[in-house]
Structure 1
Amino acid sequence: MLIDILTQRCNAQRLMIAEAYQSMYGRDLIGDLKEKLSDHFKDVMVGLMYSPPSYDAHELWHAMKGAGTEENCLIDILASRTNAEIFQMQEAYCLQYGSNLQEDIYSETSGHFRDTLMNLVQNIYKGKPVLILQGIREEGYTDPAMAAQDAMVLWEACQRKTGEHKTMLQMILCNKSYQQLWLVFQEFQNISGQDIVDAINECYDGYFQELLVAIVLCVRDKPAYFAYRLYSAIHDFGFHNKTVIRILIARSEIDLMNIRKRYKERYGKSLFHDIKNFASGHYEKALLAICAGDAEDY
């Protein structure tokens, strides 16, 4: 019954159900789910009850406040969210945990990886507080001449790899609009004869490299990026439950249908097929219900 009700309602409806539950029975639905359920099935059902900004905040908090930092969670969320989504998650993070997201990222990460994350979550622009729902990334702006200059900067950054060049690289990837970055990547290919992802993989390593690649892939095709992350989580890590749950819940009302499509196109098997092979019981049923597939997917 829990699966049938909570997975077949949109997030707004689930939040209304939680309000009605509190009003009728004087109990917190999330609290009852946490108390009565267990293991990964509990994680799915509880995760569905958060609003999107609150769920992102929840995942970021637990990624940084557990035993060690879960860097790939930070990458998946912060490399893929829009300015408005980042602004809203920062507010939710502060309300839920009484903490500042930027300060926590600064204290829990390091080096150019930290610098890039900090750039992604900034809510100031050119030294001034932002008065509308946006972060620092430009939106809808294109300049072909500037794209050629930026491409040259990226090429030099991949060749020289100094601290200054790393800073310039992450500034471009974090600050330019998606439309502008499309032009930059094309110019980079023209200048270097190499795809920018290949160049980054050759020149850098560690979480800094993974974050830069994630930003590029999200600019190009966000559903394809998440299809790749799901495939890796299922096949490369022996079914990394946290990653699978996080992506399915976070993208369920955004682009999960397109993610499913990219998954099947790229890997030859449906997402449903792979979930059924690796998950079981109510946990499997809940994941499949979120994906909401039809007969051909099975």
Structure 2
Amino acid sequence: MFCGGYQVQGTIFLNPNCDPMMDAQLIGGALQGFGCDKDVLIDILTQRSSAQRIMIAEAYGSLYGRNLLEDLRENLDGHFKEVMVGLMYSPPAYDAHELWHAMKGAGTDENCLIDILASRTTSDIFQLKEVYLMQYGNNLDQDIYSETSGHFRDALINLAQGVREEGYADPGMAAQDAMVLWEACQRRTGEHKNMMQMMLCNKSHQQLWMVFQEFQNISGQDIATAIEECYDGYFQQLLLAIVSCVRDKPSYFAYRLYSAIHDFGFHNKTIIRTIVARSEIDLFTIRQRYKERYGKSLFHDLKNFASGHYEKALLAICASDGQDF
């Protein structure tokens, strides 16, 4: 898979040895009786693609007349349960699940909203919004409106509308677009904040790549540095996430994993969400960026902070290619 001119690779692929009915029987046996054979769950669910896990769930339902997702929820606990349950969702459903839980109840997990909405493609956005509406009976835009505020809210809703011009680039407009961003950084009014967020949320990544280069030429300053100086709070974090995803999405997620492990005392939700959601997209590339940027492997850091079957499950997803670096 290519993204932004470079090749990206996940760690989980279609398993040619997958037999959904046999896997369902093995999982059923692992979940029955006293206790639970967690190793069987790890061996199967971390070594199958999302499409194959859905077929296993269907086979499980026909064999036992029960819902595999619900049985996993009932028989497992802790962070290990979050990993196993997360693996059973389709990618759009998992994003919808994470967004819903980020906003339900007291408080809002703004970083979850940023991670998902700043990094997903237009197609991803449309799919997760459809699932969100069907699964929770709510409109994503309306929930964002009620749970966030200010220019941060406006930018999130803009992203959630899925109007980014993917694949379209106009080199002739790059310098003019860069001037708009430069003026927004200089003036910093509400109107100029709107100009900034609309540019970053609506223009294609290909266009923004050129715009950022022109911004450097015009201002003598990197766009990320300018955003850090001009804005603050979650609005700033969201804009910086978009810039990072435009430049190198795997590097953004490597940074998020490193921060979740080291800066905030092992933020499990961020780690689980990133590893599960990116496993079939670019997790292998994220591991490479992690090692290049921080000097230690993702495996090394996960082993130091996680433990038991939770650690084993995370490492199995990260190492489905059999490599440990």
TM-score range, shorter chain: over 0.9
Higher relative contact order structure (alpha carbons within 8 Å, sequence separation ≥ 6): 2
Q: Is the 8 A contact 1:94 1:100 kept in 2?
A: yes
In structure 2, how many angstroms separate the alpha carbons of the residues matched to 1:295 and 1:90?
A: 35
In structure 1, how many angstroms separate the alpha carbons of the residues matched to 2:280 and 2:223?
A: 30
Q: Is the 8 A contact 2:46 2:320 kept in 1?
A: no
For structure 2, the residue ranges without an aligned partner over 5 or more in a row are: 1-39
Q: Is the 8 A contact 2:47 2:320 kept in 1?
A: no
In structure 2, how many angstroms separate the alpha carbons of the residues matched to 1:141 and 1:290?
A: 34
Q: Deviations over 1:236-282 (max 9, x none)?
A: 01110000000000000000000000000000000000000000000
In structure 2, how many angstroms separate the alpha carbons of the residues matched to 1:202 and 1:118?
A: 24
1:225 matches 2:252:
yes
In structure 1, how many angstroms separate the alpha carbons of the residues matched to 2:215 and 2:249?
A: 20
Q: TM-score, normalised by structure 1?
A: 0.94
Return the match for 2:60 from 3, 14, 21: 21
1:209 matches 2:248:
no
1:144 matches 2:183:
no
SS at 2:143 equivalent: helix
For structure 1, the residue ranges without an aligned partner over 5 or more in a row are: 123-134
Return the match for 1:167 from 191, 194, 209: 194
Q: Is the 8 A contact 1:263 1:271 kept in 2?
A: yes
Q: Is the 8 A contact 1:7 1:289 kept in 2?
A: yes
Matched length? 286
Residue equivalent to 1:54: 93
Alignment map for 1:100-139 (pairs within 5 Å): 100-122=139-161, 135-139=162-166
In structure 2, how many angstroms separate the alpha carbons of the residues matched to 1:16 and 1:183?
A: 43
Question: Could you tell me how far 1:293 is from its partner in structure 2?
Answer: 5.8
The aligned amino acid for 1:253 is E
Q: TM-score, normalised by structure 2?
A: 0.87
The aligned amino acid for 2:317 is I
Residue equivalent to 1:67: 106
Residue equivalent to 2:10: none
1:178 matches 2:184:
no
1:89 matches 2:128:
yes
Return the match for 1:250 from 272, 277, 281: 277
Residue equivalent to 1:36: 75
The aligned amino acid for 2:127 is Q
Spell out structure 1 runs of 4+ moving beyond 2 A.
293-298
In structure 2, how many angstroms separate the alpha carbons of the residues matched to 1:204 and 1:163?
A: 11
In structure 1, how many angstroms separate the alpha carbons of the residues matched to 2:323 and 2:211?
A: 39
The aligned amino acid for 2:191 is E
Alignment map for 1:228-239 (pairs within 5 Å): 228-239=255-266
Question: Could you tell me how far 1:42 is from its partner in structure 2?
Answer: 0.4
Q: Is the 8 A contact 1:272 1:293 kept in 2?
A: no
Percent identity over the alignment?
80
